[in-house]
Amino acid sequence: MNMENAFSYNTSYVGEDSPVHRMDPRIKLGLVLGTTLLSVFLQNVAWLVTLVVMLLALSAISGTLKKMTKFLGLFFLFAVLTVAIMTLLTRNFIYSLEYFSPFFLRFGVMVTAGMLFAFTTSPNHLSQALQKMYFPAPLSFTLTVTLRYIPTLANEAETIFNALRLRGVYPSNWDVIRKPSYLYRGMIIPLFIRILKLSDEIAIAAESRAFNGGNGRSSLKNIKIGRNDLFFSLTMIMFCFVLMVMDKGTFSLI
Amino acid sequence: MFKKTSNTGKWMVHFGNFTTRDLAFIGMIVALMFIIEMVIMLGVAAITPFPGAKSIGQAFFISIIIAVGLAKVTKVGTFTIIGIIMGVVAGLIMPAFLPLLPAAILGGLAADTVTKIFYGRYGSRNSLVVACGVNQMVETLLILTIMVVFGFSTEIINPIMILITAILATVLGAAGGLIGSKIATELQSAGAIGN
């Protein structure tokens, strides 16, 4: 397995050009927060399903639905396993399904909204949006370092593991439990020494380029809330309001 | 904004008390935490329906990494920064589960507060063990409580189960902190981490 590919942004951000991709990250963040909060208030399963379908429709528009299916599959497996265990405990499948469906739908809303945000927002845009939301600049720098070095560190770990194997060390799970020094001396210590070297290099490189903690940093492309963003926000607010009214009112389906 | 560091005598940029070197190191530590968390999440959480399994599975390994990070950057506030960055990454990027954001921030804040009150700063073995334990306890309690608020079956997660899971995560977190402090001592004696 190629660790670098497994942890690259390709697993998360899908760089396409769609109306959802072009939307301001702050609006999308509002959508994630709003739908998550709304899912807690909604009691009726039908309206929770409507909310999930709306989010899936947005992911279809953004062209990220196919990629999202892989992760939603894992979530679905988790749901199936939970219902199966509950059925074994209670010996009543319908009861288990009814009992768990509101939870998994709420969870589904959160996961789908979160992935919609992650798959359609580049780390650069997220960093810019956080700065616009008064996220301290030095923390923004730390976040950028984290996002940049996730695939690199995964690659480093793989290299260290391969070096161990080249020396004829093939530790099985039992070996690691019996002799943790395989993992500790062979893997963790070299990785930490590499991390220390890398972080020193980053700091020296940043300071030699007159890095001042990131305060007052300008950007070639600035993000700003446009007319389309406002229109989308208003539509979403109205949609959520209608769902709330339907849930509390006499329009209940189930 | 610019201060001379006592260790090297070089001019360094400060964020409060944090130098660029500290912030870069914290960033790298969070990247490593994220990799470990993802491996555990895909390996453990996907095959068990019990939501606390991920917290228990990750507590030990994540705490080792955090303890080494805290042994290098001994300032109070480091855990909160780790919490904020880890919360943003886990809550908004991958696995994009929003409740992880407040849980990670509050976990880091709680660990920093306890360390500030009892030890003043990180560095000693006890401070690392206690901080890692407190962080895991707060995070696990918050995540599982949020699950209950969202309507998860109380037959699978009930208050006693939440408490048992939190205690287990705390013990494993503290054990991870202990191992991490030993690794940090070894790195210090090798000259990789300066005092």
* pLDDT one-digit tens code per residue, A192-240: 889 999 999 999 998 888 877 666 667 777 788 889 999 999 999 999 9
For the cut 80, the answer to whether the pLDDT of residue A172 exceeds it is: no
- Whether residue A113 is found in the same domain as residue A186: no
Q: Enumerate residues 82 to 121 of chain A having a beta carbon within 8 A of any beta carbon in chain B.
A: 82, 84-86, 89-90, 99-100, 102-103, 106-107, 110-111, 113-115, 117-118
Confirm if A111 and A76 have CB atoms less than 8 A apart. no
Count up the domains in chain A and report the number: 2
pLDDT at B149: 76
Contact between B171 and B146 (Cβ < 8 Å): no
Which residues constitute the domain of residue A42? 1-121+224-254
Q: Tell me the pLDDT band of B138, cut-offs 50, 70 and 90.
A: very high
Beta carbons of A202 and B30 less than 8 Å apart? no
Lowest mean pLDDT among A177-186, B54-63, B78-87: A177-186
Q: How far apart are the first and last CA of chain B?
A: 23
Mean pLDDT value of segment B26-55:
77
Residue B7 has pLDDT above 60, yes or no: no
For residue B74, give how far its alpha carbon lies from the nearest alpha carbon of chain A (Å): 15
The yes-or-no verdict on residue B151 having pLDDT over 80 is no
B20 CB near a chain A CB, below 8 Å? yes
Q: Which long-range contacts (CB under 8 A, 24 or more apart) does A200-206 make?
A: A200/B21, A200/B24, A202/A145, A202/B24, A202/B27, A202/B28, A203/B19, A203/B20, A203/B21, A203/B23, A203/B24, A203/B25, A206/A141, A206/B20, A206/B24
Distance CA B87, CA B135 (A): 13
Q: Residue A9 has what pLDDT?
A: 45
Across A36-50, A73-87, A198-212, B101-115, the highest mean pLDDT is recorded for B101-115
Tell whether B96 is within 8 A of chain A (Cβ).
Answer: yes
Check CB contact under 8 Å for A195 and B32: yes
More confident: B107 or A102: B107
Task: Examine the domain organization and report whether A9 and A22 are in the same domain.
Answer: yes
Check whether A89 has a pLDDT greater than 70: yes
Lowest mean pLDDT of A75-79, A197-201, B18-22, name the range. A75-79
Q: Tell me which residue of B195, B57, B98, B37 sits closest to A109, measured CA to CA.
A: B98
Residue range A166-191: mean pLDDT, rounded: 78
SS3 A24: coil
Considering the domain architecture, whether residues A7 and A117 belong to the same structural domain is answered as yes
Complex-level ipTM: 0.86
Residue A130 belongs to some domain of the structure: no
Q: Are residues A110 and A146 both part of a single domain?
A: no
Asked whether residue A111 falls in the same domain as residue A11, the answer is yes
Specify whether A151 is located in the same domain as A191.
yes
pLDDT grade for B180, boundaries at 50, 70 and 90: very high
Closest to B28 (Cα-Cα) out of B110, B89, B96, B75: B89
CB–CB of B27 and A12 under 8 A?
no
Q: Is residue A143 part of a domain?
A: yes
List the end-to-end C-alpha distance of chain A, in Å, as a whole number.
46
Domain match, A160 and A235 both:
no
Cα separation, A85 vs A69, in Å, equals 24
Please check whether residues A191 and A91 belong to one and the same domain. Answer: no
Mean pLDDT of A129-146: 84
Residue A16 belongs to some domain of the structure: yes
Give domain status of residue A128, yes or no: no
The answer to whether residues A72 and A35 belong to one domain is yes
Whether A54 is in a domain gets the answer yes
Average pLDDT, chain A: 81
Burial B10-37, CB ≥16 within 10 A → b, else e: eebbbbeebbbbbbbbbbbbbbbbbbeb
A17: phi then psi, degrees, rounded to nearest 5 = -115, 100
> In this structure, are A59 and A95 located in the same domain?
yes
Calculate mean pLDDT across residues B151-174: 83
Same domain, A141 and A99: no
A129 domain-assigned: no
The 10s digit of each residue's pLDDT in A5-41 is 545 544 456 667 788 888 998 999 899 889 988 888 8
* One domain, residues A48 and A62: yes
The answer to the question of residue A127 being in a domain is no
CB-based contact B92 A107, cutoff 8 Å: no
Residue B103 vs residue A174, higher pLDDT: B103
Whether A113 is covered by a domain: the verdict is yes
